[in-house]
Amino acid sequence: MPGKADIDQTCAHEASQGIMMAQLMTNTNILEVFVHENEVTTDDRLVKLVEKRVRKHALNAYWMLCEPRQILERAGKGIRQGFDDAGGIQS
């Protein structure tokens, strides 16, 4: 979980870049899950965010392995793991 400090955010970004590079180099999906401390303002909200995001990403992992069509059907729809959905792409 990246902390609130700028260096923590930079390190999380670099880690994310490394995960993307590993996916490209190995042609393998890697599920990335980050919860940044600065996404919420209280510890209670942080716990709820972590629980919600972990549950949704666990479901994504299942879909990636067992029902990949589910992932494709949700692509581009602004579905979020942790907060309200952002909505789909407007054409």
Tens-digit pLDDT profile for residues 16-63 = 999 999 999 999 989 888 999 998 999 999 999 999 999 999 998 999
Q: What is the DSSP letter of 88?
A: P
Global model pTM greater than 0.85: no
| Greatest alpha-carbon span in the chain | 39
- The residue that leads in pLDDT, 88 or 64, is 64
Residues in Cβ contact with 39 at an 8 Å cutoff, skipping those fewer than 6 apart: 46, 49, 82
Q: What is the DSSP letter of 89?
A: P
